Chains A and B, each alone.
Chain A
Amino acid sequence: MATLEAVQYKSRTRTLVTVFTTIFLIVYLIWTLAPFLIMFVSSFKDLLEAFTLPEIGDFAGMGVFFEFTPTTKHYTELFTERNFSVYFINSVIVSTGSALVSVVLGAMAAYALSRIDFKGKDHVFFWIISTRMAPVVAVMVPLYAIFRNLDLVGTIPGLILAYTTFNLPFAIWILKGFFDNVPYAIEEAAMVDGRTRFGAFMEILPLAAPGIGAFIVLCILFSWNDFLFASIIGSGGAKTLPVATRELVTPTSIQWGKIMAAGVITSLPMTLLGLLIRKYLVTGLTMGAVKE
């Protein structure tokens, strides 16, 4: 940085810029966190308290937001009256199930694709990535028809398979980038030592392990947050948290306290998981195009 600082600025402009950028950052910080704060705090509010606002223009009255007696009744009601424990478990099983299936099959395919060369490989590749990009609404109808014929609608395995449509291409694409970076010499050495090809594959798996772990988490995140597949393929027996939360909105009443509590339950685990794999997020969310 020292060389950059070689060109000196008038200190007043510099202070002005610093003040402006700091204010800008603070405003953006508030804008980012406000929905989380409102969701979190409102989930502990009783109905009337949640609907209290200061007068229009009364900025000093904003403190009413924090004036309430905390209640956990929304949370307990979700679990006692609304079966949220079942939906939570459904969400966990479906998202981890799909993540594991996708990453296991994906790692095998990605490794193979990384090690061989054949005519039309580019086309196979493009097909793989395009399945990941296809709009869910577009393929939902035929997929639903197929799943219905196979009796998979409303079942956990059905929803796991549905999520595989976007998680598997993602896993193949991303993990291929990983295996491309593992030198072939390592497998050669293993095979010279008398390992089989599969043994050699197992040998290099640990090298890709941190990445594989991170992308399992990302796959979990994608399927956990999905709504469209869950509401249509999963309708009936495989209700997940986003769908259950959405169902708290009915034409006659919107149970805001419960919705906010359900929102916290749904987003808290994913926020934590996301921060855990922070390092791999850019790579994952850009399909490997950008690395940190």
Chain B
Amino acid sequence: MKDQLTEAFVSTKAIFRDGGLVIDAPAGARNAALSNRFYFYLMMPAIIVLAAITLYPFFWLIYMSLHTVDLGLADDTWNNLKNWTRLGRDRKFQEGWWLLLKYSSLCMFFEVTLGVMIALILNRSRYEKILVTIFLMPMMMAPVIAGLVWYYMYNSTFGWYHWLMQSLGILGDKSILGSSSTAMIGIVMVDIWQWTPLIILIVLAGLKRVPRDQLEANMVDGAGDIRNFFQVTLPNLYPFLLIAILLRFMDNFRFIDAILVLTGGGPANSTKILPTYLFDVSFSFFKLGRGAAIALTLLAVTIVLGMILVRVFERPSSTRSNSGGT
């Protein structure tokens, strides 16, 4: 990595982009080499810190996944890929992936539907500013605190949400988190509460970019609100929705704080999504080698998602409105 970088810096490339500087050639070349070194030094601290706290642990993770790692002083021993081959037989690992997919899909479906609806309404509302400000408050709350507050509200003897759902006849007297058939819905609701605002914000930003003339042209053709939405607005929103969905997907991989507080993966493992299982393997059973193997599968999927996301970021036409200078 570092060699590549230095090599890149040595092969001096023109940085005087707009050709604005008027200086004679030799001095210019000297200047360019000098300034490249300046930029190099400027970015080095961040690169070094980042490498130390990300690359190094990453290689350590690979090493651990190939060994039996004990917490004590015993040396790590090579174990013929046992950590990896075990994954094939590990039912909880496979279920963890399935539950993670189910959890993320459920969250995404409700958050996107709700988010688009709210954004559409807000976009035409006189009170857009104040309402958006109120709506985004849940995002500011620490996920652990959100988890605790919802845990309180779900309680089957004194929780207000439980009371409400029981009063409406949706739920029996068992807590929503207490039975394995409803616990998943319980944690999904918290995620919906906390993260729908992000979708609202993104979609609102997208709605402001829907070309007015396209809408008007379509209306002249006799389209009503609903046809207009599906024919003009929605296609224009796709890149925004894609970004929103990818971001939320990755956050569902990243954040398990609320789930740890709400169910800890239970009851009967019904909410043990992969990151929660990984947390158990590493921090409850201290099977660090196996944990590392699981972690690497999780990382691999995140990286693929990240690659897609970066591709979307870089699509010139869609979202970046004013990247061409001030």
Contacts and interface: CB of A to CB of B under 8 A. Distances in A.
B106 interface: no
Interface string B137-176: 1111111111011101100011010010011000000000
B285 interface: no
B201 A185 contact: no
B73 interface: no
B149 A38 contact: yes
B275 interface: yes
A33 B134 CA distance: 8
A151 interface: no
Interface string A87-115: 00000000000000000011011011101
B133 interface: yes
B54 interface: yes
Interface stretch (B37-45, B78-86, B87-95, B180-188): B37-45
Contacts of A115: 15, 39
Interface string B191-228: 00100011001100110100000011001000010000
B190 to A, nearest CB: 9
A183 interface: yes
Given A129-B306, A232-B283, A118 B8 contact: yes
A29 interface: yes
Contact of B39 (A65, A116, A134, A275): A116
Interface stretch (A67-75, A77-85, A135-143): A135-143
Given A50-B158, A120-B5, A291-B205, A286 B142 contact: no
A35 B194 CA distance: 10
Contacts of A278: 133, 136
A276 to B, nearest CB: 11
B36 A245 contact: no
A246 B39 CA distance: 44
Nearest to B251: A133
A21 B275 contact: no
B4 A119 contact: yes
B177 interface: no
Contact of B137 (A36, A51, A59, A256): A36
B39 A112 contact: yes
Contacts of B250: 133
Contacts of A112: 39-40, 42-43
Most buried by A among B4, B305, B313: B313
A288 to B, nearest CB: 8
Nearest to B63: A142
A interface SS class: helix
Given A112-B42, A141-B61, A135 B254 contact: yes
B140 A105 contact: no
A126 B46 CA distance: 15
Contacts of B57: 139, 142-143, 146
A197 B16 CA distance: 13
B230 interface: no
A28 B54 CA distance: 40
Interface in B56-112: 56-58, 60-61, 64
Contacts of B309: 133, 289
Interface string A121-136: 1001111111101111
B243 interface: yes
B216 A3 contact: yes
Given A24-B121, A117-B15, A263-B145, A246 B261 contact: yes
Nearest to A123: B4
B306 A224 contact: no
B29 interface: no
Contacts of B49: 105, 164, 168
A290 interface: yes
A36 B283 CA distance: 32
A39 B17 CA distance: 55
B284 interface: no
Given A131-B54, A146-B57, A281 B136 contact: yes
Interface of A: 3-4, 6-7, 9, 21, 24-25, 28-29, 31-36, 38-39, 42, 50-54, 56-59, 65, 105-106, 108-109, 111-113, 115-121, 124-131, 133-143, 145-146, 161-162, 164-165, 168-169, 172, 177, 180-185, 188, 191-192, 197-198, 201, 221, 224-228, 232, 241-242, 245-246, 249, 256, 259-260, 262-263, 266-267, 270-271, 273-275, 278, 281-282, 285-292
Closest 10 CB pairs of A and B: A118-B8, A109-B46, A138-B295, A142-B57, A225-B142, A142-B60, A112-B43, A274-B140, A112-B39, A109-B43
26 contacts: A34-B160, A35-B193, A50-B158, A54-B163, A56-B163, A57-B166, A59-B167, A109-B46, A111-B42, A115-B15, A126-B307, A133-B306, A137-B295, A138-B302, A141-B282, A141-B288, A181-B325, A182-B325, A184-B16, A245-B145, A249-B261, A281-B201, A285-B139, A287-B313, A288-B313, A291-B320
